[in-house]
Amino acid sequence: MTQEELAVRSDLTKGFISQVERDLTSPTIESLEMILRALGTDLKEFFSNLENKEKVVYTKEDRIPIYDTPEGVYEELLLTASDPKKILNLLLLYLIQTKQRKLKSLMKE
C-alpha cells in the first residue's frame, strides 16, 4: 500500500503519513486509530502483538555473573540472554575498565 492509498483510506493527508513514516511527527491516538483501521486492525491488536516485549522484572536466574575475586567481590549484570552481542560488549567494556582501575591502583603504590 502506498502512502497515498493509506492517506485516502485513513482520511489523513499524504504529507502527514509521510512524516509519521519518517518519524518526523507522532500521530495522536485518534490519527493512529484511523491509520490502523485503514490497515485492517485496531489499537488493541496493534499493541498486543509486540514481539520484543522488554522485561521489567528480573529474577535471580536472570543475573549474569561477570566478576569474582578471592576477596569475595561478586558482580552481576541484569540482562536477558536475548541479545548476546549486547552482553558481550558490556562484558568487554567491564573488563577493560577493571583492567584500567587495576593499573591505576598499581601505579599509585
User: In sequence order, what are the beta bridge partners of 74?
Assistant: 68
pLDDT at position 88, please?
Answer: 66
State whether residue 78 is helix, strand or coil.
Answer: strand
Amino acid at 48: S
Query: What residue type is 74 in one-letter code?
Result: Y
Mean pLDDT score across all residues of the chain: 76
Give domain limits for the chain.
3-48, 60-108
pLDDT (tens digit, 9 = 90+) per residue, 4-53? 999 999 999 999 999 998 889 999 999 999 999 998 888 888 877 665 55
Least confident of 6-10, 33-37, 64-68, 103-107: 64-68
- For cell 522485561, the residue is 55
d(CA 93, CA 87): 10
- For 20-29, what is each residue's pLDDT tens digit? 988 899 999 9
